[in-house]
Amino acid sequence: MNVFEAISKRREITQFLGKSIPSEILERVLNAAFLAPSGNNLPSREFILVTDREILKHLAKTTPYMPWLANAAAGIVITGCPNVSKYWIQDASIASGFIWLSAVELGLGAAFGAVFHAEDHIESNSRETHVRKTLVIPENRRVLAIMGLGYPEKQPASKELIPKDEIIHYHKFNGEHNN
């Protein structure tokens, strides 16, 4: 599969088969996260692999929006280091995309569970503290998200997308596309 095929096949998978993921597959996904670019090549993001079922069930309670994590075969917690780079959010987000696309490439399904909440600092602190205490994450790290991974129970149908010309602009906002 090439990267364009992985991008077009990517779906949020929240229903997983009860099948474990071989460690060599998980290591390939983690390597993709490791290889993701970061501003000035700074180590502004770190990753924690979780495969323990009880820990995944506990992490599923981080927000009301990720009960699916309890049934995932693995979770990758994506943390950021604000003291290393002010671009930790961007760097951790890019790594999330690399994780997701590598999962698709390897036949896995993935779902993104947002933990960091940019607009509600109290909610973000509550969510991040839940994950931080569970996984003994140092206070100087932020928790961006948890990616749930597993073999898809079923492949969702393609979503109807917003027309491309409403999203992509040429030369200026609402500029016309001339070949």
The H or E element containing residue 144 is strand 142-150
pLDDT at residue number 178: 63
pLDDT at 177 over 90: no
**Per the domain annotation, does 90 fall within a domain?**
yes
pLDDT at 28 over 60: yes
**Per the domain annotation, does 174 fall within a domain?**
no
Instruction: Read off the pLDDT of residues 127-149 as tens digits, 9 standing for 90 and up.
Output: 999 999 999 999 999 999 999 99
Backbone angles phi, psi at 69, to 5 degrees: -65, -30
**Per the domain annotation, does 152 fall within a domain?**
yes
**Per the domain annotation, does 173 fall within a domain?**
no
pLDDT at 179 over 60: no
Which CATH number characterizes residue 50's domain? 3.40.109.10
Instruction: Read off the pLDDT of residues 147-171 as tens digits, 9 standing for 90 and up.
Output: 999 999 988 887 788 999 899 989 8
Q: What is the mean pLDDT of the chain?
A: 94
**C-beta atoms surrounding 39 within 10 Å:** 14
> Minimum mean pLDDT among 14-28, 95-109, 147-161: which range?
147-161
Mean pLDDT of 18-25: 97
Q: Which class for 174: exposed (0-12), middle (13-18), buried (19 or more C-beta within 10 A)?
A: exposed
Q: What percent of the chain has pLDDT over 70?
A: 98
Please name the residues in contact with 59: beta carbons below 8 A apart, sequence gap of 6 or more.
Answer: 50, 66, 69, 75, 77, 130, 131, 134, 146
Domain carrying residue 116: 3-166
DSSP H helices, the chain, are 3-9, 23-35, 53-59, 88-105, 121-135
Number of domains in the chain: 1
pTM of the prediction? 0.92
**Per the domain annotation, does 176 fall within a domain?**
no
> Minimum mean pLDDT among 4-8, 60-64, 82-86: which range?
4-8
The vertex-64 CA angle with 109 and 58, nearest 5°, equals 75
